[in-house]
Structure 1
Amino acid sequence: MWINGMAQTTLSASDRAVQFGDGCFTTAAVRHGTVQLLDAHLHRLQTGCARLQIPAADWQQLADEMRAAAAGQAQAVLKVILTPGPGGRGYSRAGCTTPTRILSLAPWPAHYAALQQQGARLITSDVRLARNPLLAGLKHLNRLEQVLIRQQVDSCGADEALVLDTAGTVVECCAANLFWRNGSTIFTPRLEQAGVDGIMRRYLMAQLAAQGQACQLTDGSREAVLNADEVVICNALMPVLPVRQIDDVRFHARTLYQQLLHSCTKMEAS
């Protein structure tokens, strides 16, 4: 782990991340010593800092640090956190003069390989995401909803969760975005009220568009997903997984999964 460029694991207890969950982050795949979709991850952090009004980092320095962390790694997970830095007791950022950047490497999640073969089993989570268009789409540090969702997933022995918002609209999974297909029509949630606009979601939507295949943004219901011909989930690490079951409903088709997986293979080869 590196904090502000130094190899260390000690973070000030007064850092805004500790006190208020004030900050944003991204999680990137490292393969063959390279950060996959590095520019997209940097853009996510830039967007997060801009919308949260966090002072801009030295983006070239951060990019160099990310490349240095990835160098020599055959396969790993790189997480980058940006915060306004240490501050006072209250909510005000007054006096926050030294932003914090945290980079850490973690082992590759080997279970995704098995799930690509057998498919993921989802449950519908009882935890509903709060609607908040001010923060919708961002990968900010306030992740308590996801922590509670993951607790339920673990207690049920499932792989992931289908997550709705407080209005009953399908948003995402706990740590993934989702697509579903009816016939030749592909859908993904709109994410204007809640959820994370994932790096892989954006990449796959761009790939579909390049192939002349539109992806419809929708405020879909749980029933719409359960009635789909096929459901696929994605994030920067999976990168895509077929869904074999949601609650008691089973899915067998893998047409969209194979198409999206091929797009990811092209990404890794580039």
Structure 2
Amino acid sequence: MPDIKDFGDFLPGYGVFETLRVEEGTAFFVEEHWKSLQQSAKMLGLCPRQDFRKCVSRLPKKATGKWRWIVSRAEEKDFFDSRAKEPQEVFSLAVAETRVGSRNWDSRLKTLSYLVHYQARLSVEADEAVILNEHGEVVSGAMSNLFWVKDAKIYTPSVETGCRKGIIRGWVMSEMEVIETRMGPEILQEADEIFLTNSWIGIRPVVRFQNRILERGKIAMELSKKLKATYSLFKSASSLDGISSQIFNQGAEELSEGAR
């Protein structure tokens, strides 16, 4: 069996990334993303040489968009996309036939091998796809973490299903009591409310699951308002005497405690 180093720089998909939301020149949850990148890289035997947190000052002034960090064996780089389209306000959702392995890297981590997730999303006639694992358990959305509400209780797939520990997922779990569980997709048919999270879209309600119509949920709206308030605090701190969001995040544990 060849060693990884025997492949030289030709290692398709062998790398990890993080995507940060930037608003008006301020990046959000920088420290949390940095920790996530380090943990993912370690799983693949990589060690980031570049501290992307020190690149905050390179962000375009007052620009809004996606800031992506990439670490592979061959190179490390970051880039800013100011043309990223703002996410829609609500989403439709359908179950994809595509499955992921609960122990697989490409399920648990943000690896450069993303074809399974794209395949799932493109295979459904909906804005986002629900991905199941080899046991038929709900894992996540193709590009998002997934939450649902039943009888005023909030649920999300357990990390044991193979879901990613998304940054906004962690923030939600630090704000409200959330039950991690292992369930099949039928549970979503019984949900009173469903919502999606990731660092770009924030928190977005699902208004259609398969053929079922849902109302915009109160919990999703409440959490969305709280998250926007947190973003405002980040931006306010970044504007004070040149303080970057990176420094603010380091000293603002009350805003991100439990975020992963």
> Fold-level match, TM-score > 0.5?
yes
In structure 2, which of residues 153, 169, 178 is the aligned counterpart of residue 201 of structure 1? 169
Q: 1:215 aligned to 2:178? A: yes
Contact 2:106 2:114 in 1 (8 A): no
- Give 1:6-21 correspondences, 5 Å limit: 16=9, 19-21=11-13
Paired residue for 1:150, among 106, 109, 121? 121
Match of 1:227 in 2: 190
Which residue does the alignment assign to 1:267? 230
- Give yes or no for contact 2:158–2:180 (8 Å, CA) kept in 1: yes
User: Where in structure 2 are the equivalents of 1:1-270 lying within 5 Å?
Assistant: 16=9, 19-59=11-51, 62-65=52-55, 67-85=56-74, 100-107=75-82, 109-112=84-87, 115-116=88-89, 119-132=90-103, 137-153=108-124, 156=125, 158-208=126-176, 214-270=177-233
Work out the CA distance in 1 between the residues paired with 2:8 and 2:53. 22
**Once the 2 structures are TM-superposed, how far is the Cα of residue 103 of structure 1 from its aligned partner?**
0.9
Matched to 1:178, the amino acid is L
Find the aligned partners of 1:189 and 1:108 in 2 and give their Cα distance: 32
Secondary structure of 1:261's match? helix
* Structure 1: 5+ residue stretches without partners: 1-13, 86-99, 209-213
Quote the Cα distance in structure 2 between the aligned partners of 1:19 and 1:51: 16
Once the two structures are TM-superposed, the CA of residue 220 in structure 1 deviates from its matched residue by 1.7
Distance, in Å, in 2 between the alignment partners of 1:141 and 1:205 is: 27
Q: Is the 8 A contact 1:137 1:192 kept in 2?
A: no
CA contact (8 A) 2:93 2:206 kept: yes
Q: What secondary structure is seen at the aligned counterpart in 1 of 2:98?
A: coil
CA RMSD of aligned residues (A): 1.9
The farther-off stretch of 228-237 and 100-109 is 100-109
The structural deviation recorded for 1:138 is 1.6
SS of the residue 1:142 aligns to: coil
Structure of greater relative contact order (alpha carbons < 8 Å, 6+ residues apart): 2
Q: Shift in Å at residue 15 of structure 1?
A: 7.0
Equivalent residue letter for 2:31: D
Rounded Cα–Cα distance in structure 1 between residues aligned with 2:50 and 2:82: 27
| Contact residue 23 and residue 81 of structure 1 kept, 8 A | yes
Distance 2:15 2:161 in 1: 19
Q: Using the alignment, how far apart are the partners of 2:140 and 2:210 within structure 1?
A: 15
Q: Which amino acid aligns with 2:96?
A: S
Give the direction of change, closer, same or farther, for the CA distance of 1:77–1:56 in structure 2 (3 Å limit): closer
Unaligned residue ranges in structure 2 (runs of 5+): 1-6, 234-260
Q: TM-score, normalization: structure 2?
A: 0.81
TM-score by length of 1: 0.78
- Give SS of 1:168's match: coil
Identity %: 22
**Shift in Å, 1:247:** 0.8
Aligned length: 227
Whether the aligned pair in 1 keeps the contact of 2:91 and 2:206 (CA below 8 Å) is yes
Query: CA shift at 1:135, angstroms?
Result: 6.1
